[in-house]
Chain A
Amino acid sequence: METIYFDNNATTKVAEQVLEEMRPLFCELYGNPSSMHTFGGQIGRRIRKAREQVAALLGCEPTEIIFTSCGTESDNAAIKGALAAIPNKQKVITTRVEHPAILSTCRDLESSGYTVVELGVDKQGRLDLDELEQHLDDDTALVTIMHANNETGVMFPVEKIARLVTDKGAVFHTDAVQAVGKIPLNLSTSRIDLLSLSGHKLHAPKGVGALYVRKGTRLSSFMLGGHQESGRRAGTENVPGIVGLGKACELAAQNIEAENSRVKTLRDKLENTILESCPDCRVNGDPENRLPNTTNISFEYIEGEAILLMLDKYGICASSGSACTSGSLEPSHILRAMGVPFTAAHGSIRFSLSRYNTEDEIDYTIKKMPQIVNRLRDLSPFVAE
């Protein structure tokens, strides 16, 4: 049975070209870029190239990129590093729909005396920028708001938010882990101060990420040790990962058009056909401002984990915001923040596509989905006979 992978917001396949680029760095070119000999020193050039490739995708200077081990590290480094550099301000603003890497980090700040404001969202997952403005004051050190939501794909107007925040003299960080590679960025004309990205969400391997730090933004080191990354992130570089991330960014720049046309067309076909063929279902999130690869659909009367297991039987990989999949008893905090009724949250399924998906895969899934939904609804006590 072939695997049909629609869980690209969880992780992605490493692109073949990325793997090829990384391959020599394991057994042949395994030197340490900090070494004084040519064998190690030549690796520095590879890292420099990767830094340029990442910078090119983001539209920034290579010196503004720090390589990290993952998106979570980038988020932690950004939040803790920025706050440590602004010791006189005690307020942080974020949203209720952030990834746990942000939410847990912010909530932990409260024990060190910070006031943390979590902005709510409306039914379609949108922020109220007036509310943000009301909370922005002279005591606000940092605002951290995601670029695109991992579960719904809803995109926040980060450029506009960056202007509001930086006009008030606060630092603005965005967790762009889901957006980088899918949404064109040009940080040279942006007011975003800090931006996190993760390699494995854009066809680079797991274990590598990056943090963009705008020139002039004060950031205390998060990881202490050696002088790597200009002393901003100690630890011997994950050379293969960094080189892979560089190549992945180069490929993403080439494919960003296709992502927003071909992948979006596939996503729309999947979503529209499911909505037509399965009664009592709805899309969660803002249909206007959404990632081109993501759809989050709630099926009434049935439960997400059961749907996933049925899909799994056909080799189709997706994910759910249902309580049963998380190990907790509560459905997704994102859908709850949006006020999605419990009934719909328990039956939510996220399909997240990539450029490797084909129309055949979409057609197969479209055929299976109504069968699965009908089968589970036959079992459900909430469906009238």
Chain B
Amino acid sequence: MWEYTDKLKEYFFNPRNVGEIENADGLGEVGSLACGDALRLTFKLDDDGRIEDAKFKTFGCASAIATSSVLTEMIKGMTIDEAAKVTNKEIADFLGGLPEQKMHCSVMGREALEAAIENCRSGGTKKHEIEGAVVCTCFGVTDIEIERVIRENDLTTVEQVTNYCKAGGGCGGCQGEIEKIIEKAQGDKIKEQPAPAPGRQTKLTNIQKIQLIQQTINEQIRPALRADGGNIELIDVEGNKVIVAFRGMCAQCQLAEFTMRDVVEAKLREFVSQDIVVEEETDSAQS
């Protein structure tokens, strides 16, 4: 069971500002049914340009509902510029904190607020547009969004990024890319952390190399493919050329080429050797 604060439970059982404002000055919609949570935020400005009223509708768990409700309370009385500065951390803090795996609820709140502000500034014409390139295709999260949660919450691991914006929590195929974004955003902070197992060795014998490749496939690559009903088999190793075959769902997956380059090759380069080149078995008849 989740450890929710009493304040969070209070906002879940007795949510404030449920509903939708008609002829709202700002409307923001984020999330989707498929993702497991979604929020529609509306607000109205008074004559001085301050948020006079705000309402929400949320599909999601208790913490999604509570963070949405609390957000509507927080922004009342703020100007648009003030509201634009609200961070997901402030939303979470207002509830006395959220369980780590639920931090994405607070990020969803901040995203909806941003979308509503954007909509308001454009005079109600502009809907929220996704900025940047989509990194996590399972949950539709872009590089800009990932970088932002990393900076705002001082995140250093892929797991944390998943907790905060869901990226990497589906098939896991983008985890390598998320790592790169963390490295870019956090720079030196990451280098202080110990290298993850199995760890790259400087000089490997051929047998050691094959073992390390097999181990990396077993521990780093297969679990990610497994999440989507796929699988991978090591067929052969010739020098730095690694030949693999996709099985199960992966065999029919249209993203197989992407998976090959961005997951399989990236992981093997990271854990075994920078010089690894991965190829798919040409005659990969299903067993």
Binding site for B on A (CB under 8 A): 96, 107, 110-111, 115, 118, 301-306, 309-310, 313, 322-325, 327-331, 342-343, 346, 378-382, 385
Contacts and interface: CB of A to CB of B under 8 A. Distances in A.
A21 to B, nearest CB: 31
Main secondary structure of the interface of B (DSSP, over half): mixed
A331 B138 CA distance: 13
Contact of B36 (A327, A329, A381): A329
A143 B287 CA distance: 17
Contact of A381 (B58, B170, B287): B58
B134 interface: no
Contacts of A330: 169-170, 227
A381 B37 contact: no
Interface string B55-98: 00111111011000000000000000000000000000000000
B166 A96 contact: no
A381 B101 CA distance: 23
A328 B169 contact: yes
B60 A313 contact: no
B38 A381 contact: yes
B195 interface: no
13 contacts: A107-B226, A110-B222, A301-B59, A306-B61, A309-B9, A313-B13, A324-B102, A327-B101, A328-B169, A330-B170, A342-B34, A379-B59, A381-B58
Contacts, number: 84
Given A118-B248, A385-B20, 17 more contacts: A110-B218, A110-B231, A303-B64, A305-B2, A306-B64, A324-B36, A327-B101, A329-B169, A342-B36, A343-B33, A346-B36, A379-B15, A379-B57, A379-B59, A380-B57, A381-B38, A381-B58
A329 B18 contact: no
Query: What band does the interface of chain B fall in when counting residues whose beta carbon is under 8 Å from A?
Result: 35 or more
B29 interface: yes
Interface of B: 2, 9, 12-13, 15, 18, 20, 29, 33-34, 36-40, 57-62, 64-65, 101-102, 139, 162, 166, 169-170, 214, 218, 222, 226-227, 229, 231, 248, 287
Nearest to A301: B59
A379 B169 contact: no
B39 A381 contact: yes
A306 B62 contact: yes
A382 B36 contact: no
Given A303-B59, A303-B64, A379-B65, A309 B33 contact: no
B169 A303 contact: no
B12 A342 contact: no
Contacts of B29: 381
Query: Chain A CB within 10 Å — which of B18, B20, B36, B231 has the most?
Result: B36
Given A309-B12, A329-B169, A381 B59 contact: yes
Residue from B13, B59, B226, B231 with most neighbouring chain A CB atoms (10 Å): B59
Contacts of B61: 303-306, 322, 324-325
A301 B57 CA distance: 12
A213 B110 CA distance: 57
B36 A303 contact: yes
A306 B60 contact: yes
Contact of A322 (B36, B57, B101, B227): B36
A302 B162 CA distance: 23
A96 B13 CA distance: 37
Contacts of B39: 381
A343 B2 CA distance: 22
Nearest to B33: A343
A329 B62 contact: no
A379 B62 contact: no
A231 to B, nearest CB: 32
Given A381-B57, A382-B38, A96 B229 contact: yes
A381 B77 CA distance: 24
A302 B59 contact: yes
A380 B64 CA distance: 11
Contacts of A324: 36-37, 60-61, 102
B249 to A, nearest CB: 10
Contacts of B15: 379
Contacts of A327: 101
A96 B249 CA distance: 12
Contacts of A322: 36, 61
Nearest to B226: A107
Contacts of A303: 36-37, 59-61, 64
Contacts of B57: 379-381
Nearest to B15: A379
A331 B60 contact: no
Closest 8 CB pairs of A and B: A329-B169, A324-B61, A381-B57, A305-B61, A381-B40, A342-B34, A343-B33, A111-B218
A304 B12 CA distance: 14
A346 to B, nearest CB: 5
Contacts of A301: 33, 59
Contact of A379 (B58, B162, B222): B58
B19 to A, nearest CB: 8
Contact of B65 (A111, A115, A306, A325): A306
A300 B226 CA distance: 28
A328 B61 CA distance: 13
Contacts of A111: 214, 218
A380 B58 contact: yes
Contacts of B38: 381-382
A331 B36 contact: yes
Contacts of B139: 329
Contact of B33 (A96, A310, A346, A378): A346
